[in-house]
Chains A and B, each alone.
Chain A
Amino acid sequence: MAELFIYGVVLGSIIALGSIGLTLVFGILRFANFAHGDLMTAGAYVALFLVTGLFSWLGISDNPFIPLSFGLRMLFAIPISMITIALIAILLDRILYQPLRKKKSGTVILAMAALGASFIIQMAVLILWGADSLFYKPGVLRPALELPLEIKIRPDQIFIILIVSLSIAILHLFLKHTRMGKAMRATADNPELARVTGIDTGRIIKWTWGIGGGMAAMGGILYGIDVQLHPGMGWGFLLPLFAATILGGIGNMYGALIGALVMGVVQQISTAYLLPTYKPAVAFIIMILILLVRPQGIFGGRS
């Protein structure tokens, strides 16, 4: 059970990278981006292209940092993929969502547009890389460390927990202490008042997409390192992402973090009693329960 709990924290960390971006975008635009999971997929595959394609061509060393399963290539691939997906997210808003907002399109139209974007990304990945599951480094043995309480954990998973904690700490400092971070929180509080105050909300929206996209990319890559890559991986994350976001209160970043950890842990622990294929169902049941019992989320969100 302790082991499943730890695996849940690993999964929850990955979900958190998606759900925080989702909740930030929602906080500012009041818009549920159904393509957010697919930004995770795109991030994972961009890293795959870098690790197995470009960096191999450039002759960057492929030796893993023992005991981790990856090496220098991945360390470069993570930031480059994050920046790429950040730009794609900003572009997606610029060419698809922003024109619809300007026309004052309804929630349903925007949701359909996001679904469309989601399918386009999935199909693009499918065309470029095929439908098979892929690994960053196929055939590598991934031995686990044995910790007390019969916990077996792979060094990769410890890396995941550490890098996610670090990223969230950096995001927290950014939102709390920088001019742009504070303006992001102000805009999420009340976009109209932010405009009246003179805050350039267009710039804030770009920053929000950039941060959300970058974090999603990191989430996708980490899932690829921990499990595997698949064109539908991000789509599969959509349910836990939304469940985590709703659980924490929509628009509430810290709520989304806690919500993600809860979703990760509950999903993993459920595998002790149910077939692992039921994991998404568990996420779905939790989401419905919250919506019925406490729709504003545990920590309260925005209306």
Chain B
Amino acid sequence: MSLLEVTDITAGYGETDILDSVSIELHEKEIVSIIGPNGAGKSTLLKTIFGLLTPRKGSIKLQNEEITGLSPDRIVRKGMGYVPQVENAFPSLSVHENLEMGAFIRTDDYRDKLEEIYGLFPMLLKRRTEKVGRLSGGMRQMVAMGRTLMLDPKVLLLDEPTASLAPLLIRMIFEKIIEINRKGVAMIIVEQNAKETLKISDRGYVLAMGRKVFEDSGQTLLKNEEIGKLYLGG
């Protein structure tokens, strides 16, 4: 049974459709990547899944429950987390306060969870009182991921988690993604660093012009010459 089932989604901004009948699915504990050229509709797809955009057609099911058209604050309560590409942390709040905000809807004691997040990102513990606005892009990404993990999501949507980061940090973020995945969190990752992402992905989808053009296992997509030429930079 798939954890997340996206069927024939058509969506866009205003009058213009960006996605054209896109279907994808995510199984338990999987990492699935969505790759494709700029403007293919990758980020739009994530936003639609998370309820930031209402699809014109199609359905989205989380654990067999219809979530199409629900608002993001409802979807987050159903066990899905979303890390936007930019402006994904609260700049005037400290690292610690950002994590606390991640647990805003939790009414139980979440101190264990905080410790777990600091264990996952030890760099954050050292700078827990610092304002996030003063941190580097890599640190902010960690804050954003940590904040989303505060609610123990079953599904995590990551929009370009390594965009504009230094190579060393990119490797680190990928390691963290694998670590989070091992804890049982299934993920959909949209990435420009397509090769690196496919290496850690169970499966991948290639989007172009708002349509799904390929789907296969991560390894097969990496080996596919046509995809390599068109989307992975040769």
How many residues of A sit at the interface, in one of the four size bands? 10 to 19
Do A189 and B104 touch across chains, with their CB atoms under 8 A apart?
A: no
With a cutoff of 8 Å between Cβ atoms, the chain A residues found around residue B205 in the complex are none
What separation, in Å, do the CA atoms of A207 and B105 have in the docked complex? 17
What is the total number of residues of chain B having a CB less than 8 Å from a CB of chain A?
Answer: 25
B71 within 8 A of A: yes
Number of A-B contacts (CB under 8 A): 61
Q: A195-B71, A198-B76, A199-B73 are in contact. Are A185 and B52 (CB under 8 A)?
A: no
**Partner pick for B90 among A189, A198, A200, CB 8 A cutoff:** A189
Chain A 168-208, CB-CB to B under 8 Å as 1, else 0, gives 00000000000100110110111011111111110000000
What separation, in Å, do the CA atoms of A149 and B71 have in the docked complex? 62
Do A182 and B93 touch across chains, with their CB atoms under 8 A apart?
A: yes
**Partner pick for B104 among A185, A188, A192, A197, CB 8 A cutoff:** A197
**Partner pick for A193 among B50, B87, B92, B105, CB 8 A cutoff:** B87
What separation, in Å, do the CA atoms of A7 and B3 have in the docked complex? 66
Do B77 and A197 touch across chains, with their CB atoms under 8 A apart?
A: no
With a cutoff of 8 Å between Cβ atoms, the chain B residues found around residue A189 in the complex are 90-93
Tell me the smallest distance from the CB of A292 to a CB of chain B, in Å.
26
What separation, in Å, do the CA atoms of A56 and B191 have in the docked complex? 71
What separation, in Å, do the CA atoms of A194 and B82 have in the docked complex? 12
B217 within 8 A of A: no
**Minimum CB distance partner of B71 in chain A:** A195
Chain A CB within 10 Å, residue with most, of B76, B82, B92: B92
With a cutoff of 8 Å between Cβ atoms, the chain B residues found around residue A194 in the complex are 90, 101
Do A182 and B71 touch across chains, with their CB atoms under 8 A apart?
A: no
Q: A182-B93, A182-B101, A183-B101 are in contact. Are A198 and B73 (CB under 8 A)?
A: yes
Q: A185-B90, A186-B93, A189-B90 are in contact. Are A195 and B72 (CB under 8 A)?
A: yes
**Partner pick for B97 among A182, A188, A201, CB 8 A cutoff:** A182
Do A196 and B93 touch across chains, with their CB atoms under 8 A apart?
A: no
**Partner pick for B92 among A185, A195, A196, A197, CB 8 A cutoff:** A185
With a cutoff of 8 Å between Cβ atoms, the chain A residues found around residue B76 in the complex are 196-198
Do B100 and A182 touch across chains, with their CB atoms under 8 A apart?
A: yes
With a cutoff of 8 Å between Cβ atoms, the chain B residues found around residue A195 in the complex are 71-73
Do B90 and A186 touch across chains, with their CB atoms under 8 A apart?
A: yes
Do B73 and A200 touch across chains, with their CB atoms under 8 A apart?
A: yes
**Partner pick for A197 among B52, B71, B87, B147, CB 8 A cutoff:** B147
Do A198 and B105 touch across chains, with their CB atoms under 8 A apart?
A: yes
What separation, in Å, do the CA atoms of A190 and B101 have in the docked complex? 12
B102 within 8 A of A: yes
With a cutoff of 8 Å between Cβ atoms, the chain B residues found around residue A193 in the complex are 84, 87-90
Mark out the residues of chain A between 187 and 244 whose CB falls within 8 Å of any chain B CB in the assembled complex.
188-190, 192-201
What separation, in Å, do the CA atoms of A192 and B76 have in the docked complex? 13
Q: A193-B84, A193-B88 are in contact. Are A198 and B104 (CB under 8 A)?
A: yes
Chain B 106-132, CB-CB to A under 8 Å as 1, else 0, gives 000000000000000000000000000
B145 within 8 A of A: no
Tell me the smallest distance from the CB of A289 to a CB of chain B, in Å.
26
Mark out the residues of chain A between 67 and 118 whose CB falls within 8 Å of any chain B CB in the assembled complex.
none
- 12 A-B contacts, Cβ less than 8 Å apart? A179-B100, A182-B93, A182-B97, A185-B93, A185-B97, A189-B92, A193-B84, A195-B73, A196-B72, A196-B84, A199-B73, A200-B73
Residues of B bordering A, CB below 8 Å: 50, 52, 71-73, 76-77, 82, 84, 87-93, 97-98, 100-102, 104-105, 147, 151
Nearest 10 A-B pairs (CB), nearest first? A198-B76, A189-B90, A198-B105, A186-B90, A196-B72, A186-B101, A199-B104, A189-B92, A198-B73, A195-B73
Residues of A bordering B, CB below 8 Å: 179, 182-183, 185-186, 188-190, 192-201
